[in-house]
């Protein structure tokens, strides 16, 4: 009898468990990191970041918003695609713009990927909507119970932001040794 009651209590506890964080659509999608670099010069770090944006930034169409070597600041905008699903199961790509920001610091650098904006109409690429507002609009859609597009694009955007961050950090970590020709 005790095992039955215990099993029932465990089952009831699991059924009312808090949803996983990956399903939470209320948090903004972004990534920020501060990287300590004791032995690196700010100019070298900036040149390296600028090289990544110019030659390894594959998120086209891209646009360099600002580049100031004296301040050690670089801002670029890129575009990724997320996929929505219709109730019939067809997938439709939706462009999402993001902003990459890089700063050199006295003892390293920091960078962030965020400020996502969705382009709802491909025929009007200059018009965009904040990502959070677009997700809220999808969540309010009557077909969302079948498509789960709000969760779907939030998960995709989170994954893409992480991928962009990993790409940049990997490139910055693969710097040539001190004294080598870059």
Q: How far apart are CA 97 and CA 77, in angstroms?
A: 7
CB 161 within 8 A of CB 114: yes
Token pair belonging to 106: 């006295």
Predicted structure pTM score: 0.79
Contact 46/104 with Cβ under 8 angstroms?
A: yes
Q: How far apart are CA 182 and CA 114, in angstroms?
A: 29
Q: How far, in Å, CA of 67 to CA of 110, rounded? A: 15
Taking phi over 0 as left and psi of -120 to 50 as alpha, with beta for the rest, 89 belongs to: left
C-alpha distance across the termini of the chain, in Å = 73
Domain borders along the chain are: 35-173
Biggest CA-to-CA distance, the chain: 75
- How distant is the alpha carbon of residue 19 from its chain centre? 22
Give the model's pLDDT for residue 99. Answer: 96
> Domain 35-173 falls in which CATH fold?
Alpha-D-Glucose-1,6-Bisphosphate; Chain A, domain 4 (3.30.530)
Residue-wise pLDDT tens for the chain (182 aa)? 666 665 666 666 666 555 544 455 567 899 999 999 887 889 999 999 999 999 999 998 889 999 999 999 999 999 999 999 888 889 999 999 999 999 999 899 999 999 999 998 878 888 999 999 999 999 998 888 888 999 999 999 999 999 999 999 999 998 766 666 55
| pLDDT at res. 178 | 62
| 110, 103 Cβ separation under 8 angstroms | yes
* Spatial separation of the C-alpha atoms in residues 142 and 139, rounded to whole Å: 8
Cα torsion for 119, 121, 127, 128, to the nearest 10°? -30
Phi-psi region of 160 (alpha: psi -120 to 50; beta: other; left: phi over 0): alpha
H or E segment and range at residue 82:
strand 73-85
> What are the φ/ψ torsions at residue 139 (nearest 5 degrees)?
-65, -30
């Amino acid at each position: 009898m005790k095992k039955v009651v215990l099993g029932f209590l465990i089952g009831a506890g699991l059924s009312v468990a808090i949803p996983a964080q990956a399903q939470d659509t209320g948090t903004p999608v972004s990534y920020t990191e501060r990287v300590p670099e004791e032995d690196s010069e700010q100019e070298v770090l900036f040149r390296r970041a600028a090289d990544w944006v110019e030659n390894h930034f594959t998120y086209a169409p891209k646009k360099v918003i600002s580049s100031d070597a004296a301040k050690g600041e670089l801002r670029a905008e890129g575009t990724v695609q997320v996929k929505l699903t219709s109730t019939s199961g067809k997938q439709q790509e939706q462009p999402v713009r993001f902003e990459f920001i890089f700063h050199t610091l006295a003892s390293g650098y920091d960078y962030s990927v965020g400020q996502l904006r969705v382009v709802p109409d491909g025929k009007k690429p200059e018009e965009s909507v904040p990502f959070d507002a677009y997700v809220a609009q999808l969540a309010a859609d009557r077909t969302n119970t079948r498509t789960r597009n709000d969760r779907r694009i939030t998960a995709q955007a989170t994954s893409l932001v992480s991928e962009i961050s990993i790409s940049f950090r990997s490139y910055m970590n693969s710097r040539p040794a001190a004294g080598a020709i870059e």
